[in-house]
Structure 1
């Protein structure tokens, strides 16, 4: 009986050793790859920019691996397809509890980021957001999340600063005489930007004459367009994904609605698919978004190398600035892991991140890096304004990254 018990004890010990060894190797032992979760919408309605975002992270990983990895170890991205918030929770659970991964990067969509980071918080993992913008992702003040890209409220700051710095003078009007309308899709992304823009405009004495929320899945926005026409604004701020951005532009044309200054807010208006779909209707549309590619290269060192690597791997130019933002963010993640000597312990990495500083205009996006100790938000990232000019998306604001002046028609 004692002999059987001893054999059983040996079997159990061997099993536990095997399990422990597998866990250590996947999360940060010194003899295997450094595995990071990569949670993006790779299929479904959000796949276009989800895949584009993942491409940027992937290129940063390939770059570091080509240079010997981290302490001689390759970095491996373990993908999770987060088509919606429910899938994001399930995939985050799988990556953390089945794949034994302690750090996850993502995710493009704010709803996905919010849901997945909740799972990371409950399980003591670290969630690195490289592209989702809703303020509530970092407003929860979790110690489990670090975000490299700017939040949605910063988009609104740029909207209002642009109206103050450029639009008022170009239109020959005082700020108090400028009328602003806002149309936005009604998720947290669109609502956050719209609410913040309204608040900032009111503080500056700018008159917001109409706010039009709508569903991004709508196939008819006639009522929204007609309400904008009735308000007769000088400036229209629109927050859209790709399909609703195209629909608004087409229906404004059909209903003969013209606004002197049209400013998009990320999402669809910076994509080449938008310009291809609406043709000349895209001309002179402005957009507040992540850095794009017609920009002052002196302020964005490393961008040329990114573009060359992207075209070599994917056979085309980038489809949006999301890949660039994720590339820059992923490089930050990898450099912090490198400074931590390849350790993946979440508390250790956060401690290193809090001491990690990068000056503005020294990265491929032009962003600097300094994480807020309470929220984990990068305080030195900001959106820029681009404009469709002769079929090209040109950076026009702020001055340090602009290559042309914005074209405002009265």
Structure 2
């Protein structure tokens, strides 16, 4: 029944589409499917694939299918640019991705030149927000998320926190913005940031020394602004040096990879995510059932947001007026039917949605009570 709920919704979208196009509606998917971000990127790819399959099973757009082309942006700029060029050459109208803010910054000029819209499920750097460009961000900017983090830790009695930040080119655009905005929000509440320690997101980094320098400042909590792999390596060192120290990780580290890689070291860690795992929304429950049937596991928030990205593009296409570009249609014709809540975009293609905080308990993300 729940899966039929999602399919019915997709079928309604398909029925609304015009029939003037002579070929498939071509979309791309761009994320780091190799390297450090592979787990979360694969999850996002699966969410996009499922959404496309559901629309096509319901009759496509005006009887024509959606065609999804997947590219891996790797871990370096040149690979990302080649991947974006391949999507442009494939004739896509829009791309779901990239997931990393740093990659979005690098490929955005190429997308602008080609007239291809980027709908990123996961890019959050404030430097990318409030811009009239070809990037739509379904994740709120770091400014919104970090304020919620600061308020949560303050309510939980933390007054002195130390922050570790990935400062390399791969993660720095997001992580340093996250650190700065969190620190400002926490200090505005009356808290103290006792130490800020940057590190390279690299296996050669002495993660034990990073943690030691944080602990030397005598904090009552640690915060990690980085990706999942680095958060796990830092958490492992915390469990060796100060097992009872509270740890929170930025939303960029809060994907399924945190648990898959972290094991016991990440038990008790707090994180913010952009979907509510306890939601009883019919569309969300139908999605979870369909995702499990298709991929054999539970979806995480990267899958949810990628599915939402396809929904935005499909609904905007069905509502698109004569002479409108796809970007104009996306910005003008919301709100869109997200799996858990309406997706509302402002004139810059940015959104606001509060994070849902979770805690790792017994190898699962559970809602924080």
- Normalising by structure 2, we get a TM-score of 0.86
Is 1:115 aligned to 2:106, yes or no? yes
Is 1:215 aligned to 2:200, yes or no? yes
Which residue number corresponds to residue 382 of structure 1?
Answer: 354
Which residue number corresponds to residue 286 of structure 2?
Answer: 305
CA separation of 1:328 and 1:218: change in aligned 2, threshold 3 A: same
Please give the per-residue CA displacement for 1:213-266, whole angstroms capped at 9, x wherever unaligned. 11121442122111121112122211232222221111112223542x321112
Q: Which has the higher contact order (CA 8 A, sep 6+)?
A: 2
Is 1:179 aligned to 2:163, yes or no? no
- Give runs of aligned pairs for residues 53-64 of structure 1, distance below 5 A: 53-64=44-55
Is 1:101 aligned to 2:87, yes or no? no
Q: CA deviation at 1:276?
A: 4.8
Aligned equivalents of 1:104, 1:301: Cα separation in 2: 27
Is 1:348 aligned to 2:332, yes or no? no
In the TM superposition, structure 1's runs of 4+ consecutive aligned residues that sit over 6 Å from their partners are none
SS in structure 2 of the partner of residue 231 of structure 1: coil
CA contact (8 A) 1:240 1:269 kept: no
CA separation of 1:113 and 1:157: change in aligned 2, threshold 3 A: same
CA separation of 1:301 and 1:114: change in aligned 2, threshold 3 A: farther
150, 156, 164: which one pairs with 1:167? 156
Aligned equivalents of 2:53, 2:344: Cα separation in 1: 25
Aligned equivalents of 1:225, 1:328: Cα separation in 2: 37
CA separation of 1:388 and 1:257: change in aligned 2, threshold 3 A: closer
344, 349, 366: which one pairs with 1:370? 344
CA contact (8 A) 1:149 1:382 kept: no
Which residue number corresponds to residue 79 of structure 2?
Answer: 87
CA separation of 1:256 and 1:304: change in aligned 2, threshold 3 A: same
Q: CA deviation at 1:31?
A: 2.4
Please give the per-residue CA displacement for 1:330-360, whole angstroms capped at 9, x wherever unaligned. 211111111117x8x7x5223222333338x
Q: CA deviation at 1:34?
A: 0.8
Aligned equivalents of 1:120, 1:66: Cα separation in 2: 29
Please give the per-residue CA displacement for 1:90-137, whole angstroms capped at 9, x wherever unaligned. 2222322x2233322212122222222221112332222122222223
CA contact (8 A) 2:40 2:255 kept: no
Which residue number corresponds to residue 16 of structure 2?
Answer: none
Please give the per-residue CA displacement for 1:33-74, whole angstroms capped at 9, x wherever unaligned. 111122222223322222211111111111111111111111
Which residue number corresponds to residue 4 of structure 2?
Answer: none
CA contact (8 A) 1:292 1:393 kept: no
Gaps of 5+ in 2: 1-18
SS in structure 1 of the partner of residue 350 of structure 2: coil
Q: CA deviation at 1:143?
A: 3.0
Is 1:198 aligned to 2:183, yes or no? yes
Q: CA deviation at 1:322?
A: 0.8
Aligned equivalents of 1:158, 1:239: Cα separation in 2: 14
CA separation of 1:371 and 1:389: change in aligned 2, threshold 3 A: same
Which residue number corresponds to residue 281 of structure 1?
Answer: 265
Gaps of 5+ in 1: 1-27, 172-177, 397-404, 406-410
CA contact (8 A) 2:120 2:137 kept: yes
292, 295, 305: which one pairs with 1:314? 295
- Normalising by structure 1, we get a TM-score of 0.77
Please give the per-residue CA displacement for 1:267-312, whole angstroms capped at 9, x wherever unaligned. 44442x433544333332111222253x232xx4422111111111
Name the Cα RMSD after superposition: 2.3
CA contact (8 A) 2:48 2:307 kept: yes
Aligned equivalents of 2:203, 2:34: Cα separation in 1: 20
CA contact (8 A) 2:98 2:118 kept: no
Q: Tell me which structure has the larger Cα radius of gyration.
A: 1
